[in-house]
Chains A and B, each alone.
Chain A
Amino acid sequence: MVTVNINEICFGYSSTKILDNVSVDIDRSSFVSIVGPNGAGKSTLLKCVNKLLEPGSGMIIVDNNNVQEMKRMEVARNVAYVPQSSNRVFPTTVFETVMMGRRPHLGWFSNETDKERVWQILEEMGLDDLALRNFDELSGGQQQKILIARALAQETGVILLDEPTSNLDIWHQLDVMENVRSLVNNKNVTALMVVHDLNMASKYSDRILMMKNGKIVSAGDPASVLTCENIENVYGVEAHVHEHAGIPYVMPLKQVRIAADACLMNQEHEIRT
Chain B
Amino acid sequence: MLKLFEKISAHNTEQLSSSANEQRSDARDNYQRYVGRKIILIICMFALVIFLGAFFVTIGPLEVSVPEVYKILFSRYFPDMFVTAGLPSQVVWNIRLPRIVAGIMAGFGLGICGCVMQSVLKNPLASPFTLGISSGASFGVAVAAVLGVGIINGPYMLVGNAFLFAMLCSLFIIALSSLKGATSETLILAGIAINYLFSSLTDLFQYFATDEQLRLMVSWGMGDLSAFSWSNFLLLLCVFLFCAPLLYLKANDLNIMVIGDENAKSLGIDANKVRMFCMLLSSLLIATIVCFTGTIAFIGLVAPHMARMVIGSDHKYLFPASGLLGALILISADVTGMNVIRPTIIPTGIMTSLLGVPFFMYLILKRKRKEFW
Known: A89-B124, A89-B258, A132-B34. A96 touches B265 (CB 8 A): no
Docked CA distance A60–B312 (Å):
40
Interface status of B30 (Cβ within 8 A of chain A): yes
Interface bin, chain A: 35 or more
Residues of B within 8 A of A91 (CB): 312-313, 372-373
Residue of B nearest to A92 (CB): B313
Q: Is there contact, CB below 8 Å, between B266 and A92? A: no
- Binary B-proximity of A93-124 (CB < 8 A = 1, otherwise 0): 10111011101101011100000000100110
- Binary A-proximity of B261-281 (CB < 8 A = 1, otherwise 0): 011011111100000000000
Interface status of B27 (Cβ within 8 A of chain A): yes
Interface status of B23 (Cβ within 8 A of chain A): yes
Docked CA distance A106–B27 (Å):
24
Residue of B nearest to A71 (CB): B268
Residue of A nearest to B251 (CB): A109
Q: When the two chains form the complex, which single residue of B23, B24, B262, B314 contacts A96, counting CB atoms closer than 8 Å?
A: B314
Residues of B within 8 A of A154 (CB): 267
Residues of A within 8 A of B255 (CB): 92, 96, 99-100
Query: Nearest Cβ distance between residue A65 and chain B, in whole angstroms?
Result: 14
Q: How many chain B residues have a CB neighbour from A under 8 Å? A: 38
Q: Is there contact, CB below 8 Å, between A72 and B313? A: no
Residue of B nearest to A123 (CB): B24
Q: When the two chains form the complex, which single residue of B34, B123, B266, B316 contacts A50, counting CB atoms closer than 8 Å?
A: B266
Residues of A within 8 A of B30 (CB): 131-132
Q: Is there contact, CB below 8 Å, between A92 and B265? A: no
Docked CA distance A73–B24 (Å):
32
Docked CA distance A18–B364 (Å):
47
Known: A93-B312, A103-B268, A132-B34. A83 touches B263 (CB 8 A): yes
Residues of B within 8 A of A75 (CB): 268
Q: Is there contact, CB below 8 Å, between A52 and B266? A: yes
Interface status of B256 (Cβ within 8 A of chain A): yes
Query: Nearest Cβ distance between residue B92 and chain A, in whole angstroms?
Result: 40
Interface status of B28 (Cβ within 8 A of chain A): yes
Interface status of B31 (Cβ within 8 A of chain A): yes
Interface status of A76 (Cβ within 8 A of chain B): yes
Residue of B nearest to A127 (CB): B27
Docked CA distance A97–B267 (Å):
11
Interface status of B370 (Cβ within 8 A of chain A): yes
Interface status of A88 (Cβ within 8 A of chain B): yes
Docked CA distance A87–B260 (Å):
8
Query: Nearest Cβ distance between residue B34 and chain A, in whole angstroms?
Result: 6
Q: Is there contact, CB below 8 Å, between B24 and A128? A: yes
Q: Is there contact, CB below 8 Å, between A80 and B266? A: yes
Known: A73-B268, A96-B313. A88 touches B24 (CB 8 A): no
Q: Is there contact, CB below 8 Å, between A72 and B268? A: yes
Known: A91-B373, A131-B31, A132-B34. A83 touches B266 (CB 8 A): yes
For window 15-69 of B, CB contacts with A under 8 Å fall at 23-24, 27-28, 30-31, 34
Interface status of A81 (Cβ within 8 A of chain B): yes
Query: Nearest Cβ distance between residue B275 and chain A, in whole angstroms?
Result: 14
Q: Is there contact, CB below 8 Å, between A119 and B28? A: yes
Docked CA distance A179–B255 (Å):
27
Interface status of A86 (Cβ within 8 A of chain B): yes
Query: Nearest Cβ distance between residue B350 and chain A, in whole angstroms?
Result: 30
Query: Nearest Cβ distance between residue A158 and chain B, in whole angstroms?
Result: 12
Residue of B nearest to A118 (CB): B31
Docked CA distance A28–B282 (Å):
45
Docked CA distance A81–B263 (Å):
8
Residues of A within 8 A of B119 (CB): 90
Interface status of B308 (Cβ within 8 A of chain A): yes
Interface status of B340 (Cβ within 8 A of chain A): no
Residue of A nearest to B121 (CB): A89
Residue of B nearest to A104 (CB): B268
Q: Is there contact, CB below 8 Å, between B268 and A88? A: no
Interface status of B122 (Cβ within 8 A of chain A): yes
Given contact pairs A90-B373, A109-B251, a sample of 10 additional A-B residue pairs in the complex whose CB atoms are under 8 Å apart: A51-B265, A52-B265, A96-B313, A103-B267, A109-B252, A109-B316, A119-B27, A129-B27, A131-B30, A132-B30
| B interface residues with partner A (beta carbon < 8 Å) | 23-24, 27-28, 30-31, 34, 118-119, 122-124, 249, 251-253, 255-256, 258-260, 262-263, 265-270, 308, 312-314, 316, 370-373
3 closest A-B pairs by beta carbon, nearest first, are A76-B268, A81-B266, A73-B268
A-B contact pairs, 24 of them (CB 8 A): A50-B266, A52-B265, A72-B268, A73-B268, A75-B268, A76-B268, A83-B262, A83-B263, A86-B259, A86-B263, A90-B118, A91-B312, A92-B255, A92-B314, A93-B313, A97-B259, A100-B255, A103-B253, A104-B267, A106-B252, A109-B252, A131-B31, A132-B31, A134-B370
